[in-house]
């Protein structure tokens, strides 16, 4: 049994330059470029497997927009829009799953839009990229607000006994975790081999959009380490070629529209 459900957690509305670096920059051939807003879909991936229910990223939660939870800097740049039906518990319910049934969580990285509902999954074993958890914790410990931007302190302070990941491994039969650093110090992607739909790759923020993926690959608005960032995109491309896989970028609203979404699934 291996089913892949894509859960819809709403959108983050932001300046397009935060998605594709320099997207609306004026140039000689485009002297009157206009700023544009872009609505980045926020998704989580639920995998139903013989080993139980795995949730890849815990998405965002509308409560985070309440004053005092997400800090104002984040709220100002990334406005979350989420209907009641896009709440993660309701999304899970459409698949017939309760939050208590999630026994495994994989966090792609620790940025606020990917860890938003983490506190709901206390029963789960939680995997996270070691470099990202350590970087965020250090930034908060040092009071370095620039480095800490994008991380939400209360999510990092939850009493979770993380299994910290430093290298690629097979988590369940047909489900591989791969390391794709660069967007942030640590990013984990998922490679899922299904019977009928072939291989699906979820690189999360290593690949924001189809435009970012290229080729040629482009920088997103947020890049922690450029060398690692571009190497990770090429790593995704290699794996995609090997398995003739479908690459599903994290935040592409056109791609997202055309995906099968919960309660429908890939199998």
Of 155 and 205, nearer to Zn ion (C-beta) is 205
Q: Which is nearest to 194 in space by CA: 182, 210, 176?
A: 176
As measured in angstroms, the least distance from the Cβ of 183 to Zn ion is 8
Which residues in the 73-112 window bind Zn ion by CB under 5 A?
none
Of 2 and 136, nearer to Zn ion (C-beta) is 136
- If one counts every other C-beta atom within 10 angstroms of the C-beta of residue 246, the result is 17
Site size toward Zn ion (CB under 5 A) is 2
As measured in angstroms, the least distance from the Cβ of 113 to Zn ion is 5
Q: How many CA atoms lie within 13 A of 147 on its CB side?
A: 15
Binding range to Zn ion, per CB under 5 A, among 29-37, 83-91, 162-170, 202-210: 202-210
As measured in angstroms, the least distance from the Cβ of 205 to Zn ion is 4
| Cα 198 to Cα 250: distance, rounded to the nearest angstrom | 19
Q: Out of 8, 113, 155, 252, which residue is the one contacting Zn ion (CB under 5 A)?
A: 113
| Cα 84 to Cα 194: distance, rounded to the nearest angstrom | 30
Of 5 and 59, nearer to Zn ion (C-beta) is 59
Of 9 and 194, nearer to Zn ion (C-beta) is 9
Of 3 and 203, nearer to Zn ion (C-beta) is 203
Of 49 and 202, nearer to Zn ion (C-beta) is 202
| Cα 15 to Cα 120: distance, rounded to the nearest angstrom | 30
Three-class DSSP category at 135: helix
Q: Out of 205, 206, 235, 237, which residue is the one contacting Zn ion (CB under 5 A)?
A: 205
Are the C-beta atoms of residues 169 and 130 closer than 8 Å to each other? no
Which residues in the 239-258 window bind Zn ion by CB under 5 A?
none
Of 132 and 205, nearer to Zn ion (C-beta) is 205
**Which pairs with CB-CB distance under 8 Å and at least 24 residues apart come from 164-170?**
164/127, 164/128, 164/129, 164/130, 164/133, 165/127, 165/128, 165/129, 165/130, 166/129, 166/130, 166/131
As measured in angstroms, the least distance from the Cβ of 111 to Zn ion is 5
Check residue 132 for interaction with Zn ion (CB under 5 A): no
- Burial status of residue 181 (CB atoms within 10 A of its CB: 0-12, 13-18, 19 or more): buried
Binding range to Zn ion, per CB under 5 A, among 113-121, 154-162, 174-182, 227-235: 113-121
As measured in angstroms, the least distance from the Cβ of 42 to Zn ion is 7
The site for Zn ion (CB under 5 A) is made up of 113, 205
């Amino acid at each position: 049994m291996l089913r892949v459900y894509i859960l819809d957690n709403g959108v983050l509305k932001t300046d397009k330059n935060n998605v594709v670096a320099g997207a609306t920059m004026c140039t000689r051939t485009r002297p009157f470029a206009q700023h544009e807003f872009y609505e980045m879909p926020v998704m989580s991936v639920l995998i139903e497997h013989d080993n139980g229910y795995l949730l890849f990223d815990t998405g965002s939660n509308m409560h985070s927009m309440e004053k005092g939870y997400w800090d104002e800097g984040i709220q100002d740049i990334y406005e979350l829009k989420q209907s009641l039906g896009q709440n993660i518990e309701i999304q899970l319910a459409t698949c017939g799953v309760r939050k208590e049934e999630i026994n495994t969580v994989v966090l792609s990285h620790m940025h606020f839009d990917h860890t938003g509902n983490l506190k709901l999954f206390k029963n789960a074993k939680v995997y996270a990229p070691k470099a990202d958890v350590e970087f965020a914790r250090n930034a908060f410990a040092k009071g370095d607000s620039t480095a800490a931007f994008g991380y939400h302190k209360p999510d990092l302070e939850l009493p979770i006994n993380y299994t910290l990941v430093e290298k690629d491994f097979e988590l369940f039969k047909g489900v591989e975790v791969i390391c794709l650093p660069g967007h942030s110090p640590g990013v984990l992607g998922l490679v899922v081999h299904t019977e009928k739909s072939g291989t699906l790759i979820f690189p999360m923020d290593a690949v924001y959009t189809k435009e970012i993926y290229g080729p040629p690959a482009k920088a997103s608005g947020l890049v922690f380490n450029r060398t690692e960032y571009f190497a990770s995109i090429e790593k995704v491309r290699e794996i995609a070629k090997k398995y003739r896989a479908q690459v599903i970028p994290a935040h592409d609203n056109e791609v997202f529209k055309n995906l099968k979404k919960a309660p429908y699934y890939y199998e």
